[in-house]
Chain A
């Protein structure tokens, strides 16, 4: 699995009274070529017309970025296609395109093209970094002012963030709480403080913190669409799930080592499996009787493992919860909720499934049980991949 994770998300609040946004954010990933393209476009005005314009712009930018054409040339094509407003003689929409290509954590290159949006920001941890931008003047027929597209190229490293937003953010509060609005300086210091207080904040949470702040500066009635997108580079958060005893006892040790050497969170699901793991580690399993559920047995704790649960009942409830995309906060306080919470906080989930056909060769129910375990695990994997875009892997032991 990749040693790099690029977390991209955005948050948007529409102009008060509008049911559709005039700002459009698009992102796509091509995992084969390790490329991510993000476009943020702000259509003139708000509502349906603005939405259509912003969509046209964002989609064009997007398509062109995946073509071999250079980005400045693409920008020119977009500019020439975009109509110019008859009355105001300005372009119908703005855009920011971030074309990110990477091969590893030490090699991430961004090409940025910015036209008329507030300038994007680059943070390393809580510190803001500056970089050179090249200004390209475009002369268009019918445009009354000179139009400038800014192009730049720079590298992102681990813990870096690229933050893009529309003028709904920088102009929030204008004439209300702040005479000149929040402005880029205000946004910058807010971001620095937010990251300092929570260095691992996800792109989703940071983008939301920024749009909510802008919304509150606007007195909870936004004067424009407020949109912010964040790209965050970090190591993937990994989780290992071990379920079922190994095929033969001589593989127990390998299982124990797999758990011990894993860097990330660890879940053991199944009573017998937990006992094997505890014996190898020389630790005690303690059942947590503090919460009760009629559906699943209580979870247990053990040093060195983040969560121990019962096997079948718990796994099948986890599968159902993920398939239904049930929000974690709506789940009862039980082992399933703990399980799903850890999964939601992970980018990569590795399953190690034991295949022991045990004590009772005679017992006809056992092979069925192994089949059930496999089925449930594959349900969990496909829900994680399809509904939550997580990476998963599986190995049998």
Chain B
């Protein structure tokens, strides 16, 4: 069976962008091409996460297949996508 593509939405809203979201937009540089090939990545305006921030759930936010992730760094993004790809 053909694998489902991974839907990734990176928040480009002000709060996320200034707190590290800008780096996530360089995904072309830090995701390996094979993994990148399995993803549909798009930018999105505020995902709402920043409005309900708590001590351990802070910007930047990224939504992967409908699940909202907080505190996303490039390294974490790679990790999260690997998990989804190999699930």
Contacts and interface: CB of A to CB of B under 8 A. Distances in A.
A227 to B, nearest CB: 48
B22 A285 contact: no
Interface residues of chain B: helix, strand, loop or mixed (majority): mixed
Interface string A263-291: 00000000110110000000001111100
A101 to B, nearest CB: 49
A274 to B, nearest CB: 6
Contact of B12 (A272, A294, A297, A360): A297
Interface stretch (A41-49, A208-216, A309-317): A309-317
Contact of A285 (B13, B14, B18, B45): B45
B45 A271 contact: yes
Chain B's interface size range is: 10 to 19
5 contacts: A285-B45, A287-B43, A289-B41, A292-B25, A293-B22
Contacts of A285: 45
Given A289-B25, A292-B26, A298 B43 contact: yes
A274 B25 contact: no
A83 B4 CA distance: 88
Contacts of B13: 271, 297, 310
Given A292-B26, A359-B51, A360-B51, A297 B42 contact: no
A191 to B, nearest CB: 47
B46 interface: yes
- List 7 tightest A-B contacts by C-beta distance, closest first: A287-B43, A271-B45, A297-B12, A297-B17, A271-B46, A271-B13, A289-B43
B65 interface: no
B14 A312 contact: yes
Given A292-B25, A292-B26, A297-B13, A313 B45 contact: no
A310 B25 contact: no
Contacts of B18: 313
Interface of B: 12-14, 17-18, 21-22, 25-26, 41-46, 51
Given A271-B45, A310-B13, A294 B22 contact: yes
Nearest to A275: B45
B42 A271 contact: no
Most chain B C-beta atoms within 10 Å of own C-beta, residue among A293, A294, A297, A300: A297
B66 to A, nearest CB: 18
Contacts of B44: 287
A275 B46 CA distance: 10
Contacts of A271: 12-14, 45-46
B58 to A, nearest CB: 15
A294 B22 CA distance: 6
A313 B17 contact: yes
Nearest to A274: B45
A143 B46 CA distance: 78
Contacts of B51: 359-360
Given A294-B22, A359-B51, A272 B45 contact: yes
Contacts of A275: 45
B26 A297 contact: no
Nearest to B26: A292
Contacts of B42: 286-287, 289
Contacts of B14: 271, 297, 310-313
Contacts of A294: 22
